[in-house]
Amino acid sequence: MGKPLFYEILEKPATSCVIGLCSLLWFYIQKKNIGYSHVGLSYETAVEGHHWRIITSAFSHISVVHLVFNMSALWSLGAVEQLGHLGLGVAYYLHYSLVLVILSGLLVLGSYHVLINRFRIEYFRRVTAVGYSCVVFGWMTILSVKQPSSKLNLFGFLSLPISFAPFESLIFTSIIVPQASFLGHLSGIIVGYSISWGLIHGMNDYWAVSMLGWTVIVFVISLKQSGAYDFGFLKIESVTDPTLPGNGRMLQMSSLLDAGDELV
């Protein structure tokens, strides 16, 4: 007989919080009748400055089946929080979950950019991705390297060897759910291997807080500039240089921040 759910929640506090957040967002999305186009990430919206969608797309789910699949896998992968003796643990889980959310989202956009501009596949311009699968596949990959003897439990009855789980799940979801984002899942796997092999390393509390802070700043400013939400207290002033010819060029603070439907 397994442990009571209450004790498992205490052993996986970060995982439990993420599952709670995703579930609450799913409920809100259903109640407000919000669709992919409102919260999802696409190349077209990213080019328009909707950088906030990297975050909203990761934690949003439209289908209940999609939510249950991702959260079931995430609950099993929450074992990472209990592996402090292997150099993992709760802090490691929080630090690299943030890295997985940001980098996998950027990698997806980078892949779209190459496919659209190099290979002229216009289909990917409007493909909209949502879901936490990038992070789920990333943690599958990290655990397969750090703890290859582990098992991935899905829905409470399906058990997969974690060493093969990333690619088994990649093929399985592509067959069973044709609209699943192959690129999104593959991005999570690539970032996961980069972390587990030490190509991405050195995250600590300082860097995690700094990364989170900049993420919040970019999120709020891009949300404001895109017109998706009006922050009355946030004013971005424009400055006119009268020494320039004509009517003067507008120097926007926003220029300092410019950088360049699937289930994820």
Residues catalogued as catalytic: 133, 185
CB 158 within 8 A of CB 137: no
* Residue 112 structure tokens: 């779209």
Residue type, 110: G
Looking at residue 31, what DSSP letter applies? H
HEC profile for 105-162? Answer: HHHHHHHHHHHHHCCCCHHHHCCCEECCHHHHHHHHHHHHHHCCCCEEEECCCEEEEC
In order of 23, 81, 128, 192, 223, the CA distances from 135 in angstroms are 16, 15, 17, 8, 23
* Residue 210 structure tokens: 């700094």
CA distance 96 to 169: 21
